[in-house]
Structure 1
Amino acid sequence: MEHKDPTEEELVELIGSRFSGSTYWNNFCSVLEKSSSTYHGELLITARMLLEKDLMLAGVFFENFPKAAQHTGSEGIRKWAGIGIKIFDQDKDLAFDYFSHSAGLLKDLDVSELEMWALHGIALFEEDPSLGKPYFSLNSESSKQFIEGLKGSAALNEMVSVLRYYALGLSGINFNILSRRMLQVEQEPNSLNPVIAGRTIYLAPRIRKYGDLGDSFRIYKLSIMHEVGHLQFSSHKIERDDAAGLMADIRSRYTTIMKRTYLSGLQPEGIIDIADIIALFPNKALAGTILGVLEDARVEYRIMEHYKGVRSDLERIRCQMLLTRSVPKGGLEEFMESLLWISTGHEPVYNISEGTEGLLEETRTLLKDRIFHEGSSVLDSLYTTFRIYAMLDDRMGPLSHKEYETLKNIDYRGVDIGAYGRKDPFSPGSHESIISNFIPQSEMEPEPDKEEPKEEVKRQPAYAMKKNWKILGSYMYDEWDAVISDYKADWCTVNEIEPFGMSSDYYKDASEHYRHEIALIKQVFDRMKPEAFHRMKEQTDGTEIDIDAFIDALMQKKCGINPDDRLYLRWDKHERDVATLFLIDVSYSTHKTIGYDEKSIVDIEKDSLIIMVQALESIGDKYAICAFSGQTRDDVEYFVIKEFHEELSDNVARRISVLEPVSNTRLGPAIRHSIRKLDKVDARTKIIILLSDGEPFDTSRGESAYKDRIAEEDTRIAIKEGTAKGIHFFCITVDPDPGKYLDNIFSDAGYTIIDDASSLPERLPILYKKITT
């Protein structure tokens, strides 16, 4: 039976039945009367949600609602209540304290900050329950300090527009400035280090550690300045001829790896990556860290020479951050921390050993000669890395397997997204990640005039263009981001494509192979055809009296009951009115072969369609067939195999025959485009049936990442969008180990797992019969 959300009147009646006779009912009615109409729906849903937990909890919520409503919108109210429910699940009394005291905090904190404060309180309560009540009643010092820290911190969202223009003015490139929360992974929640992904700079959402609001804004600016400096003055690649002498010197000293070659990837002829040079050192991790420190120092020297106006800010903030760093243990850790200090032009403020002081004296000379001068390059940093490494090897060596606590960079300096979030970025063989912790890999020339054409090229459907297939149109769709609990507007591009094939042989061969199955299924489907007319009893009007209903009405009247007026029979023409869109996953993973005949998953999907369409032709249901795959958010390719209005023809047979595995599974946009197509069809029952071999996933990284919770939530929301339009959804998967994603996404829609994928052709028509009858 179809589930419908209750109306506002039904919710009021439901809540009244629970509140009636209590002081809470008056509070509720008063709040409802005073609140604007835009709040009514949110209030009623929230009230119902709280009532399911506890009557008194709902009461204290409504007592404090007016104060909260002064400072936040309807969505904020719902989140405010949701936080209270989280606390209630920990302790009932704490939830009452929360609602009683937190409404006033919304004047100075947004709801996400209030949630941070609440989660901190829950953590304290779990450690020591006696700390809970004073924390949520705002009587504890830790609670007050946490709130003051939130109030006094600089929020990125208040500055992002200014910072974007600042980056554009410095570099000529329109950088995207986003919160690091978008990445969903926090190595150290309190760290400030930006994360760099091409043209996007992810900054810490708040800065609390340093100085006042003005200093916080300067830190954001310096972070951007530092990354712009790397863009202008740094590089991961150099001419092989220029590096030949250095590489010969390294090989000459470390003869055990003279014959060893290392290539981080295919490079253009005559070009070598700096990672290939660092790979020549016995201790790659240490060499990569030295290079990172030197390259940051060189870039900042060039920045201060080029943009003299930032010198005083950079010096002051840099010194301030250095002073908060921990004192090193000794040995290599002491030298590396001291190297970081002197590379910024500052002397260590802690006591250093005599041995380290001797090493630093030589290092200062190297920095002055090679790093701190106009025109220095990454090759200078590499030469200096070799000299410092050899010096350490002589005094502390051999360094080949020497372990030490890895150096952490200064807070305002960025890391490449490829190194961010790795569990062990300093494991053996990960020197590229270590380098990326200091030197982001985005290398773009500041050519703003070329930016828009590049975007146009990126949005072209790569697979379809390679095949020379017809592009029917491009459509922009929002995508739900579970991190920000909101849509990203016009985030994905779906390119609708008409495939073209020269031969329908695959279709014909499969039809012949499954001829017996097709004949049997047609017989089954023939029995699904409805009768021409259907007798409908107990109608309010009709062509004749319903005798049974009339007798029941007389008996009810004799008993003093007001009878129903449904006293007629009506004969209605009863026609099957179903429109189904089959959405086929043709991601790369469908190339896998299974079964004794080693058929690929995509071929099994094609066989299933071939049987299915011939069965559907016999019953007369409206149907369309589409397939999809995605390269990135800018290129989700949607292949139209058969439209609803299109006859089954040799063209359709050729399009089915030509289907093959393509790329990724960005499912949300494909569902939204399917909804768009079904929404235009006139049918009483509308269904999308998805055939897939796995969970939604896209290899895109950074802000475009589409996997795990992000992908699952977007797909789930896309299905809800279809449900709101009256479209039913059903997933058929051949994923043998689907884990939790199926239930997370499709529990409200419906799904089935085909354990033996090779049985899909025979089982799909039977499943369709169950779904549509």
Structure 2
Amino acid sequence: MDKRVAARLQRVIPEHELNSWEREQLLEQLSAYDPQRQEAVLVQVGILWPVSHSLCFAFLEQLEAGLACLDAQQLPEWVKGILAAYEADGLRAARLYMADVENNFLCRLRGENGLTFAEAQGRLLPYLRGLAGRNLQLATGEEAATDTETIFLPREVTFFQNRDDNFRVFKLLASFQWAFIHQDLYCHRHDTANALAAGFAAGDASLEQADVLELFLKQFPHRQLAGDIYHLLQSVRASFFLQSHLPGLMRDARPFFALQLEDLSRLPLPEGAAASLHAVRLWLLARLAGGQCSSRSAAAARLIARLPDGMTSMAEVFSLTAEFYELLRPAAKDYDPLPPLVFQGTLQTQAAHRARLARREARKQKFIEGLAAILPPESGKKKQTTEDQPEKRQPAANVLEGGANVSPMQPQGGKDEDEEKQIAGEPRFICLDDEKLALPEELKNLAREIEDDLGGLPAFYIASAGMKAGSRGKSPLAAFESEDGSALRGELLYDEWDYRRQGFRKDWCRLIRKKLHPVKGTFVNNTMDTYRGQIIQLKRQFEMMQTRHRFVKRQRDGDEIDVDALIEAHADVKAGHVPSERLFVRLLRDERDIAALFLVDMSSSTEGWVGTALKESLVLLSEALESLGDRYAIHGFSGMRRTRSEVYHVKGFDEPYSDEIKGRIAAIAPIDYTRMGPPIRHFTAELAEVDAKVRLLILLTDGKPEDYDDYKGEYAIEDTRHALLEAKAAGIHPFCITIDREAQDYMAHMFGKINYTFIDDVRKLPLRVPEIYRAITS
């Protein structure tokens, strides 16, 4: 047995973690390889073993077959693929990945295989959100589909050998689903829903909460056939739309459409109503592939002849659905549904309806909160006439329910300059006791979305905002933000630096302290399991940073005699010189005396991957710091406007790291905006009271400071910079960890060239944060 290999193996896998039989078997396997392969295998074993012992043993079982196809230099990439499969779908998926090295690894390495959703997602998501103009999500599904909030795509696309061609297919599938949303496939817009429901639900008060498309399809005796006709017509309409708006994409997709046409043409011809729909699908694919297809079915020919070239309106779709159904109704009894076309996907009416109701509720809450923030407290009170009777008003336009004191303003009578600019029916103003209150851009956009959904702005939204503003005005901690720039009153008020006047706005921001309530769940345990190996390594590294002992020679007093100094002194006496009095050795203890406060961005932009990575970072950091002994605290911050800058208590310096603290970390979630100045000033004052040699204020954020009001751009950057200068003057060392790709443009100006770091991949954040802390405190 090679002692060198045995020693190397023991460094990779500690002796107590393998029984003697397993160790002998592994050494026997390694002895069959040359030294280069031995080292390459041991390196990968060291990577896999901390992640999962079972995964590592499975790797060793498949290693012989793998090395028959791979050389030692390719092992790291193969192991990356194994880990990706394991993290996505578990041990079974990793075993399947390892079992077929040629197709799962080498073909992809040569660009000769399919493309997975995970590989395409990073490029697809920005493209999709750019198209939609909002934060649509991507997820995997059995087939392409959408619920209007998320677009579902298959786990893998393997239509072509070339990965770029397969990415184009992913792009096409996502674009079709976006077109369905844009073209209102599920009839969520108020005008569409009203037009569709006019024939079967006139005057139905409950229609607002109903799934109108489902009601429409249920009118037909054979709902499945009606649904398939409707979906096919909408697919034709979406294809016309994409050819008009994304001609390059549709032109590049012609080989894919030709491939689909070829596959569909080889299938046995269906019978009855399905035969006619099959013929329409062949016609559509031929048209998209750049050719022509003549139908053998007379019924299908009649259907195709009725399809207008460039069908755009929903009214045409509804009319043709009913017409086609009547044409195919004689054969509907034996109708056997056809599987959807790949780019067509499946209808998800119920999921889309749930998403619509959830979106409506979220918009309502956001609008009420946003409007309440700009209304004075008195807006919640009813205005009375001199006779103490309610003043009579004309019903406001675009309001669903009358009687609101505050309502969207519709110009009446003579038009002034502002009214000339206002588009008819668009809520640009709020009429507040006959006074105009302009809506901020975000509220205007939100009101427009609500009107698209409901046909108007419900009066109770505005009434709720007025009551919220009124109740807020009664609280000393939530006074209305004066638009004329007056100071606030109450506790925890902070100045704000105005670079334009080179001075402070006194008592300009109100800070509200809140405590996060712990949540019960699996987040922390899942994080611990995911990063188990890395946590062990971090704890070892941090333990090495603890108190160090060292001997200092030639001291006037100490624990022991310095023999070298004593000999020199004796020689000096013999030579007639005055001997040194420094004859002792002293043991010094270099104790760490560090207090670190982590300030976590909880703005709405951290939703999704970023927020998860920030929380994972805090879990890993807390585990590592517990082994080091440094005092640390964790707080979050968010808020909206200068009247409501909020900080959230997660962990104090004197609180032990417990299950409750873990629950609070799990409870961290995106809320509002990123006004950095007030929380920095607040925690500078708090840190200044902590007795420590080194006091750190570490910000974890995904972007630049910005709030709902005018706190943005240069103004926000200069106020944050001044707050950081104030922290430095108080003996606090600020540092920032950011994932904003534009960070270089402003971070150096705010923090200084060496007091920030940029992480280019959010997935690296959990491991990089502890490393950065170790670096700045060593």
Shorter-chain TM-score: what band?
0.3 to 0.5
- Calculate the TM-score normalised by the size of structure 1: 0.41
- Calculate the TM-score normalised by the size of structure 2: 0.40
